[in-house]
Chain A
């Protein structure tokens, strides 16, 4: 089994065409072996979107066990690669990614990354934190999502509403989120954002 994975890893590093890269990453992702994690993350930097999407999917399937390496191997100099890392972390939803998602949601320059991070902040698996950390972490997520409900980009505000809807399941946060929703529903400039708030109110805070 281990030898197999090493061969599959080698196939990825030696792929000499875009199509071979895609099938090599597919094969590597399908064995669901933790030994594949660094290689799958490295694929984010190869400028091959089809392969990167498969690597994202493979890492999400591996789940929590991939989180430490995803956090360590964030590429500060390649925003394309960083975007894939953040999308993966947002979907695995382990709360150790909190600080990174907070920063991405507030300051990343790619709107697609900010949207993924904003949604991810609502869906983190809070029960995986110690009781002592949990309330602080949730408060931080709430503060960031509330702040980006003022963003100039309607799609960022839309993503913030999606995150807040999920966060409103936490009893201590529900009231503040409900108040924000009422205010946004009356004032937001985009009809689609107001509609998404109406849906969130139905689902979460009614």
Chain B
């Protein structure tokens, strides 16, 4: 998952770009300028057809390679495209799910989640091939063979928007038993989104008691993302910085307010705001 950053970092020390310059830089001979331009376009959400076109071209870049065969520019382009809400990027990102570079596949899955396009479902499911038995660590690398967390989260988020997801549920459920807790959490999160069953929300609530602060923060972020209201009191007392709790409660609150044009506040929404007030 993407580590939630509660305290925004100032970016005043970055070189100033313009949209035109960034698009030009994506094709220039200086690889570091290309890399920076792709990051910059995503960071400042410069959303226009020509930007999307240029970033989609960058998804096929061959010039910028790491020693281990990674594709830094493709990673940044894939990340940026998730932040621009233009679904013309979807086919290119789906293709990236087959890239040899793990981090390109991870970035593509995260961005496909943000774009929420159901066309990505079959390609995402293919990354779960072999199930939990195949979901092992790559020897000598700090990651599993596939970006399971990102894939499961994307399937949960996108799957919840379409009908007939029983096959997706069946493929995801075994990952609740994966040995890596972060993968279990991603599976619980997706299962909750796909089934609305509280037992999956409760699995995440349990992680709020973990000894590991990073896991507790991650569980907060997951609960916020799925808007699991019954976690509110546990979020309030979790041993995590208030900034993270506020972000999670914001997720719960906005889930309560979905489809509310007139902002009529139900009792749940009022309770959530009372808790948020107490955390200021």
- Give the B-binding residues of A (Cβ under 8 A): 110-112, 115-116, 118-119, 152-155, 158-159, 162, 185, 190-192, 194-196, 198-199, 202
**Which residue of chain B lies nearest to A156 when distances are taken between CB atoms in the complex?**
B280
Chain B residues with CB under 8 Å of A199's CB are: 265, 270, 273
Q: Contact at A158–B276, with CB atoms within 8 Å?
A: yes
The binding surface of chain A is classed by DSSP as helix
CA distance A112 to B211 in the complex (A): 23
Chain A residues with CB under 8 Å of B6's CB are: 111
9 extra interface residue pairs, beta carbon distance < 8 Å, beyond A119-B277, A154-B250, A158-B280: A111-B8, A116-B280, A152-B8, A155-B250, A191-B254, A192-B276, A195-B253, A196-B276, A202-B265
- Give the A-binding residues of B (Cβ under 8 A): 6-8, 241-243, 246-247, 250, 253-254, 257, 263, 265, 269-270, 273, 276-277, 280
Contact of B273 among A110, A112, A115, A195 (CB under 8 A): A195
Contact of A198 among B242, B246, B265, B276 (CB under 8 A): B265
Q: Contact at A118–B254, with CB atoms within 8 Å?
A: no
CA distance A159 to B273 in the complex (A): 11
**Which residue of chain A lies nearest to B274 when distances are taken between CB atoms in the complex?**
A199
Chain A residues with CB under 8 Å of B8's CB are: 111, 152-153
Q: Contact at B269–A162, with CB atoms within 8 Å?
A: no
Q: Contact at A195–B265, with CB atoms within 8 Å?
A: yes
Contact of B280 among A115, A154, A185, A195 (CB under 8 A): A115
Chain B residues with CB under 8 Å of A191's CB are: 253-254, 257
CA distance A186 to B53 in the complex (A): 34
CA distance A48 to B243 in the complex (A): 19
Contact of A111 among B243, B257, B265 (CB under 8 A): B243
Chain B residues with CB under 8 Å of A155's CB are: 243, 246-247, 250
Chain B residues with CB under 8 Å of A152's CB are: 8
Q: Contact at B280–A159, with CB atoms within 8 Å?
A: yes
Chain B residues with CB under 8 Å of A190's CB are: 250
CA distance A139 to B7 in the complex (A): 30
Chain A residues with CB under 8 Å of B253's CB are: 191-192, 195
Q: Contact at A198–B280, with CB atoms within 8 Å?
A: no
Contact of B241 among A112, A119, A153, A159 (CB under 8 A): A112
Q: Contact at B277–A195, with CB atoms within 8 Å?
A: no
Q: Contact at A119–B280, with CB atoms within 8 Å?
A: yes
Contact of A194 among B242, B243, B263, B270 (CB under 8 A): B263
CB distance from A13 to the nearest CB of B (A): 27
Contact of B269 among A119, A159, A195 (CB under 8 A): A195
CB distance from A107 to the nearest CB of B (A): 13
Chain A residues with CB under 8 Å of B263's CB are: 185, 194-195, 198
Q: Contact at B254–A192, with CB atoms within 8 Å?
A: yes
CA distance A152 to B10 in the complex (A): 11
The 7 closest A-B pairs by CB, nearest first: A119-B280, A198-B263, A115-B280, A192-B250, A159-B280, A191-B254, A192-B253
Q: List 20 A-B contacts (CB under 8 A).
A: A110-B7, A111-B7, A111-B8, A112-B241, A115-B242, A115-B280, A116-B280, A118-B280, A119-B277, A153-B8, A154-B250, A155-B243, A155-B247, A158-B280, A162-B277, A190-B250, A192-B276, A195-B263, A196-B273, A202-B265
Q: Contact at B257–A195, with CB atoms within 8 Å?
A: yes
